[in-house]
Amino acid sequence: MISRRGLLFGIGAGLATSCGLPAYAHDEKFKLDEKFEPQSISFSGYEPGTIIIDPKNHFLYLQLEADMARRYGVGVGRSGLAFRGQAEVGRKAKWPSWTPTANMIRRNPKKYGRFAKGVPGGPNNPLGSRALYLYRDGRDTLYRIHGTTEPSSIGRSVSNGCIRMINDHVEDLYERVPVGARVVVL
C-alpha cells in the first residue's frame, strides 16, 4: 500500500518532469572544468566589491583588494541576448521564483509559454538557489546573476542573457556581495 508521503512525492516528481524541468538541480555525473572552479587570482583595475563579468572568456570576477579577485566560471547569453555595460545589484533572493520574460515567450512560445505564470523557487527552478538582480538607473534590467539547473552550461554562451553559475558558487558570491554592489559586464 502506498503511503501519503510516497503519493505526494510521486505527484511532485511527475509534475516536475511533465513541466520539462529537471528532476534534480545538478547531474551527479557532471564534472566542471577545473578552470571554472572558484579561485583567488591576481586581478586589478576595479574598486573592491565590484563584480566584473567577462562573457568572452566565461568568467565572473569579484574584486577583493587592489590586486586580488575571486574568479568563478559562468555561462552567459547567446549572441545578441547578452547584457553589456554597467549595473548594480538592486536586490538579492534565496530560492527565487522565475517567470520568463515577454521576449523569451515571443521568441520561443512552445518552450516558455507554459511557464508564463511563473515557476516557484526550489531545486527545479531555472534560477537555481540564489539570484542577484541587475538594476540600471533604479530599474530592473530583467538580467540576473543566478544559479542553474544546467551546470554543463558553465563555460558556454547559451542563456537568454543572464549570467549562470553553479549553485554552490552563486551561494558563495551571494554571501560576499551586498545590494548596491557595482556590476560591470565587458
Q: What residues are labeled active site?
A: 146, 162
Among the listed residues 25, 51, 44, 13, the one whose alpha carbon sits nearest the alpha carbon of residue 134: 51
32: which 3 cell numbers?
566542471
Contact 123, 27 (CB under 8 A): no
Helix-strand-coil percent breakdown of the chain, rounded to 5? 25, 35, 45
Q: How far apart are CA 118 and CA 8, in angstroms?
A: 21
For cell 520539462, the residue is: 20
